[in-house]
Amino acid sequence: MVEANLGAQTMTIHVKFFASLKEQMGCDGASVEIGEVASAADVWLSASGGQPMPPNTLVAINMEYVDPNQAVQDGDEVAFFPPVTGG
């Protein structure tokens, strides 16, 4: 987890949940305020109220797959979803 630089400026991150994660979280997303330095995993913790991220969760920032440790930027859209099952 990247340590949040509390007291400094915060970022607004737009969070989205899909499929079973949406049901589990009880909503399809939210906007969260987070410290100036944060990763997608930090965004998960903030948006989920500290719940552990389920294994196999996929993460996308601005609609591109990323590693959960990828840093986020102010205004980013960060999505969390289970393994994909299309086709």
Binding residues for other proteins, rule: CB under 8 A, are: 16, 18-20, 23, 58, 60, 63, 65, 79, 81-87
Q: Which is nearer to other proteins, 2 or 58 (CB)?
A: 58
Q: How far is CA 74 from the centre of its chain?
A: 13
Q: Which is nearer to other proteins, 28 or 74 (CB)?
A: 28
CB of 48 to other proteins, least distance (A): 18
Sequence-distant (≥ 6) Cβ neighbours of residue 38 within 8 angstroms: 2, 4, 11, 13, 46, 71, 72
CB of 16 to other proteins, least distance (A): 7
Cα distances (angstroms) measured from residue 59 to each of 5, 16, 63:
23, 10, 9
